[in-house]
Structure formats: structure tokens, C-alpha cells
Amino acid sequence: MFAKQKLSALSSSSLFRQPTSLVARLKGLGPVALEALKKPYTAPLLAMGLFIGGGALFLNLASDPGAGSPSVRISMGGGDHAPKAATVTPTDQPVADDTTSGLQAFTLDSLGLFKDASADQFNASGEAGPVDGTAVITLPNDGAPIDVAASGPTKLPARPLTPAPIAGLSQNGPNGPLPIIATDGRVAAATYARPFKSNGKPMVALIVGGLGLNPTTTRAAIEQLPAEVTLSFVPYAEGLQGWIDAARAQGHEVLIEVPMEPTNYPDVDPGPQTLLINQRPDDMQARLNWVLGRAVGYFGVMNYQGSAFLRDKPAMNGFLGTMKTRGLSFIDDGQARDQGGAWNRASADRVIDAQINAQSITAQLSGVESAARSKGQALGTGFAYPVTLAVAIKWTQGLEAKGLQLAPASALAHK
């Protein structure tokens, strides 16, 4: 973070000098300016203006801890449902070469998330829908660009999982193959999960979601995060099966996100095929079949929004019943922590990037660590913002030294 400007030069002793002293200092301004300064009260008023301006600057910096940090400003289109790429203008810091700046490594356009989707844009809080206004993202690492290449290999060595589909775990559906429990009892919740063996240390898990919409951030998550990090994909993504195949080839287990009704629906619309509270069971099943039929190779599903749906017991009973009969895990972002069901379950302990800046994300990940130490395991979830990825990559590299074990999210799920 840039150091806050020192205001000693704006002290009252230096500002309220005699007018002649100010005149002497400003000879280069020309005859007109000199004559103006010789008039009574002109110089004192100018000094007062500088003093007030300096005070305002001090208060602005003091009231905003990130005011001195370099940042990028993202203008978000809004109002209608047409997907729009974000326009990003750097502030406080020049754009570095693409090979040296962490944010540029993911590209500054990486918040144009729905450019390949028919759904609405995500906003900073994780909700979807038309977004107006501007978001400011503080650059990671105290304002210095993060060199992702320096913090780890450009692409980590692959630790591949068995390619999908695995025989016996799916059947043809109206929109694509649907997961089933195999005749020998195998289920996707276990077969498509990443194998894991505990070493006895407290376990921390991380899910990075919102993937598949932006090629650059999706590729960075697949290639630069350790294989133990679980990746969650949006069903609207173009070429979804290819992304899931790439993730599994690198070693990541995969979730698919199910859009669910939020409390402010339809003002905020998670997109096509959203599960709604008052849907007929047949309609909800048809929408679920559409989502589940988009690809194969995922071990479970995760909610996208759903603040209303997750609290409606009849709707949730139908949904969780389907997850159980299809042998799928259900992992939520913490909104359904008190609900069981599905083949097995887990709930996130923290959403790590509700505030999109490096300091907040780092603090939330520290909270995940503390929860793991106190109860043996903890799960965090975040969105594929460039700053989230940059901080997460660095965080995973230091876990072993902290006496923690990075685990896939499936290892934390229980019946």
C-alpha cells in the first residue's frame, strides 16, 4: 500500500506567512498574478484554501483505509438483460506488462463474466441481475502487482483424475446424460471426487466458483490452483464439458452450480432454469434435469444464490431428494448449514470475497484457518475474481508451513 501523504508541509505555520513572503515565492507567476497577490486578503485566503484542501485530503485518507492503495475501477453496464463486458480503467497505478502484473495475467477484462452466457451479470456480493454503477478492486499484495509467475509455476504439474464419463454412472436424459447410482452401488459423489487421505492435521478446503464464463480466469484457476482446490462451474457456460474435462485432467474435482430463487426475485434473476419455490414438482425436475444434463464428471452441485429457495422446506425436500437418488453431493455457501439431505452434505464456513479486496480476502482465509484449528476442518468459498485467484494461489502455498492440510471439498462432506 502506498504510504499516506505527510501533511507537515501544510501546517498553519507555513501557510499563514506574510503576503510579501508568498509574493517572493511566486515571482514566476507573472505580473498579473503578483498584482493580485498584493491586494489585501488575497494571499491569506489562498493560504486558507490550501489548508482546508489539505485537511480534506487528510480526512479522506483517514476515513478510507484503502484510499492510498492502487486499484482498478470497473464500470458495470446494467438495466437490461443483455450481457455486457466490464470496462476497466486503472487508477493510481500504470498498467504493467502482461507478463509481470498479476491482475494483467488474468486480464483486466476478466470481470466481463457473462459475455458467453445468457444469464445476467454477477455483482460483487455474489448475487446476479442487472448491475449499475462502479466497482473498485484494490490491487493485491499491499498495492504491488502480484507476479503470478513468480509466486508459482505458470501451470502446476497435472495430477489427473479418471476421465469422464465413467461407465455406469449416467443415463440418457432429455437434455443430456444424467447422473445415476450404478448397479454396483457406485455414486458420483465418491467416484468423481478427488481421492484424499488425511495426514492428521486440521483440514482446510476452498471452492472457487463462477467458472466457465470467462476463459482467462477459468484457465488460471484450473492451471494455477493446486489440485485439491475444488472448482465450481456455471451451467450457462459455453463449452462446459470441455472446461470440466480440462479441470479433471489437471486434477480438480468439480461442482455444477444450480441457480435458485433469491428473496428479491424476479428483480434479481439468477438466469434461465432457476429453481423456484412455487414451481410444480414436474417443472422443478425439468429444470434440474437441464442443469444436471449439461455435462458429466461432477461429484455434486452447489447453490447459486437461493436465499429464498434454501429456506423453503418443501422446495428443499424435493431438491435434496433428487440429489440423494442421483448419488450427488450438495455443498452450499453457508445459507443452508442447518439442513441435511442429498447423498452427502457440506456447508461453507466463510465466503472469502464478499468484499473484493486483498486485505479482506486474506482476513477471511485466516478465519477459515482458525475454524479448522478449532474443529478439525473448515471450508471457504469464493468467486473467480482476479484478486481472489491471486490471493488464493499465494495462500495455498503457505498452508503446510502453518500445520494445515489442504483438502478437496468432498473430503469435508458427510451423510
Model pLDDT for residues 166-224, shown as the tens digit of each residue: 999 999 999 999 999 999 999 999 999 999 999 999 999 999 999 999 999 999 999 99
Mean pLDDT of the residues in the chain: 75
pLDDT value at 98 more than 70: no
Task: Return d(Cα 172, Cα 96) in angstroms, integer.
Answer: 49
Q: How confident is the model at residue 73 (pLDDT cuts 50, 70, 90)?
A: very low
Threshold 0.75, pTM exceeds: no
Using a pLDDT cut of 70, give the percent of the chain over it. 63
Report pLDDT for 234: 97
- Say yes or no to pLDDT of 67 above 50: no
The answer to whether the peptide bond before residue 202 is cis (omega within 30 degrees of 0) is: no
How far apart (Å, rounded) are the C-alpha atoms in residues 283 and 301? 19
The letter for the amino acid at 104 is Q
Q: Which of 23-32, 89-98, 223-232 tops mean pLDDT?
A: 223-232
Of 33 and 401, which is predicted with more confidence?
A: 401
The three-class DSSP label of residue 300 is strand
- What is the mean predicted confidence (pLDDT) over 84-108? 31
Furthest-apart CA pair in the chain: how many Å? 97
pLDDT at 143: 40
147 has pLDDT over 50: no
DSSP assignment letter at 109: T
Q: What is the pLDDT of residue 108?
A: 29
Q: Please report the pLDDT score of residue 18 as a whole number.
A: 36
Supply the pLDDT for residue 132. Answer: 35
Confidence of residue 307 (pLDDT cuts 50, 70, 90): very high
Is pLDDT at 399 greater than 90 in this prediction?
Answer: yes
- Please, is 260 exposed, middle or buried when counting C-beta atoms within 10 Å of its C-beta (0-12, 13-18, 19+)? buried
> Higher-confidence residue: 120 or 236?
236
Predicted confidence at residue 140, as pLDDT, reads: 39
Element (H, E) at 190: helix 188-191
- The region, left, alpha or beta by phi > 0 then psi within -120 to 50, assigned to residue 409 is alpha
Flag the least confident range among 42-46, 53-57, 115-119, 388-392: 115-119
DSSP per-residue letters across 218-284: HHHHHHHS-TTSEEEE-TT-TTHHHHHHHHHHHT--EEEEEEE--TTTTTS---TT-B-TT--HHHH
Contact 388, 208 (CB under 8 A): yes
Q: What is the CA radius of gyration of the chain?
A: 26
pLDDT at 49: 58
Confidence band for 76, pLDDT divided at 50, 70 and 90: very low
Q: Is 208 left (phi over 0), alpha (psi -120 to 50) or beta?
A: beta
Query: CA 75 → CA 124, 136, 216, 385, distances in Å?
Result: 12, 9, 19, 15
Alpha carbon of 187 to those of 249, 327, 328: distances in Å?
20, 5, 7
CA–CA distance, 265 with 106 (Å, rounded to integer)? 32
**Residue 349 scores a pLDDT above 90:** yes
Mean pLDDT score, 26-55 = 51
Residue 285 is inside which H or E element, if any?
A: helix 281-292
Burial degree of 290 (CB within 10 A; 0-12, 13-18, 19+): middle
Share of the chain above pLDDT 90, in %: 62
Q: Is 70 exceeded by the pLDDT of residue 93?
A: no
pLDDT band with cut points at 50, 70 and 90 for residue 415: confident
Q: Residue 390 has which C-alpha cell?
A: 491471486
- Cα–Cα distance measured from residue 287 to residue 392, given in angstroms and rounded to the nearest whole number: 33
Domain boundaries, the chain: 8-63, 71-138, 148-412
Ranges assigned E (strand) in 121-228: 133-138, 170-172, 177-179, 203-211
Mean pLDDT of 42-70: 47
Under CATH, what is the fold of the domain 148-412? TIM Barrel (3.20.20)
**What's the pLDDT score for residue 47?**
57
- Of the candidate ranges 34-38, 96-100, 286-290, the one whose mean pLDDT is the lowest: 96-100
Beta-bridged to residue 231, according to DSSP, are 208, 254
Q: Indicate the DSSP class of residue 59.
A: H
**Cα(57)–Cα(30) distance, integer angstroms:** 29
Residue 154's pLDDT is what? Answer: 78
Using the predicted structure, report yes or no on whether residue 90 has a pLDDT greater than 70. no
Residues 6+ apart with CB under 8 A from 323: 300, 301, 329, 330, 341, 342, 343
Strand partners, 305: 260
